[in-house]
Amino acid sequence: MVEGSTGGGAPPVIRIVRRKGHAAHHGGAWKVAYADFVTAMMAFFLVMWIVGLSEPVREAIQAYFRDPVGFSEAVRAGQSPLGQGETVIATFTRPNAGEAEPPDARRLEAARRAIVTQLEQTPELRTLRDSVRVRLDNEGLRIELIERSSDLFFDSGSAALKPRTYALLKVIATELRALGRPLVLEGHTDSRPLRRDDNYTNWELSTDRANAARRALIAFGLPPTQVVEVRGYADRRPLRPKEPAHFSNRRVSILVRNRRT
């Protein structure tokens, strides 16, 4: 708009009027980019968290994403892939915080899972599931055949293996042969004295039962050189110290030594 006077020599006054309007709308594109960035960061930290987990946990997570329905049904049925709800007693001692899980421990854990799976999937061995304990400890992988009922693996006072015990040791021998680690076999009894007249005591019985398990493992393909010790403890290491005569103190233990041992 130009304002001026009609007369005189005064120069015209020019006034520029700028009309105000709304700023241009930038749209929501920045929100989409920000959401993508947040999603990418969440995925990155999720991957870093999974990388830091132990192998059994990673495999359980993988199993869930492969088959969420089957995974949930297995957990409800007491067959947790983490080894805490399995019918066969199976435990895993995890490394301390900040300590990487060594490759040898991963191999022992894989063997533990394989044995547990075989026992669960073999029909004739399912009746033994409450009598087999498979766990990792400081010495290595320990497999224990525990008399949860009287005369389950051996007849009372005898070192003769029952047919079900042979079937169980066949599964164990297959897995331990592939593992290739040194084995120690241990025999244990309860505190009840044997009613024999030939001075045959629980010391001899515990050693003979461990030796019978050794012979069966070798018969099923375990190299004899893998067995480095056979021990008999009689009733000196009971599972139930307050009940030394209880039949659950009778057991055979197979120890797969780790490299530290």
The confidence score (pLDDT) of residue 234 equals: 95
- What's 231's DSSP letter? E
Domain co-membership, 256 together with 161:
yes
Q: What pLDDT score does 238 carry?
A: 92
Q: Domain containing 113: what range? A: 88-261
Q: What is the predicted pLDDT for the residue at 156?
A: 81
- 47's CB contacts (< 8 A; 6+ apart) are none
pLDDT at 60: 65
Q: Check whether residue 115 and residue 165 sit in a common domain.
A: yes
Share of the chain above pLDDT 90, in %: 36
The DSSP bridge partners found for residue 183 are 227, 256
Residues 186 and 220 in one domain: yes
Check whether residue 103 and residue 202 sit in a common domain. Answer: yes
Structure tokens, 245: 């005569």
Mean pLDDT of 145-149: 84
pLDDT for position 70? 54
| 50-105: pLDDT as tens digits | 777 655 566 666 666 665 655 555 554 444 444 433 334 444 444 444 444 456 78
Q: Mean pLDDT, to the nearest integer, of 129-135? A: 88
In this structure, are 135 and 66 located in the same domain? Answer: no
Please check whether residue 77 lies inside any domain of the structure: yes
Q: Are residues 68 and 185 in the same domain?
A: no
Whole-number pLDDT of residue 227: 96
Q: Is 168 in contact with 116 (CB distance < 8 Å)? A: no
205-240 tens-digit pLDDT: 999 999 999 999 999 999 999 999 999 999 999 988
pLDDT of residue 99: 43
Kindly report the average pLDDT of the chain as a whole number: 79
111-128 burial, b at 16+ Cβ within 10 Å, e below that, comes to bbbbbbebbeeeeebeeb
Is pLDDT at 141 greater than 90 in this prediction? yes
CB 138 within 8 A of CB 104: no
Q: Are residues 58 and 141 in the same domain?
A: no
How much is the pTM? Answer: 0.60
Burial of 166 by CB count in 10 Å (0-12 exposed, 13-18 middle, 19+ buried)? middle
pLDDT at 124: 84
How much of the chain, in percent, has pLDDT values that exceed 70? 69
Minimum mean pLDDT among 36-50, 135-149, 158-172: which range?
36-50
User: Does residue 154 sit in helix, strand or coil?
Assistant: strand
Would you state the pLDDT for residue 20?
56
Q: So what's the pLDDT on residue 197?
A: 79
Which pLDDT band, with edges at 50, 70 and 90, does 247 fall under?
A: confident
- Which one of 62, 85, 108 terminates a domain? 85
Same domain (yes/no): 78, 129: no
pLDDT digits (tens, 9 = 90+) for 182-205: 999 999 999 999 888 788 999 999
Higher pLDDT, 162 or 20: 162
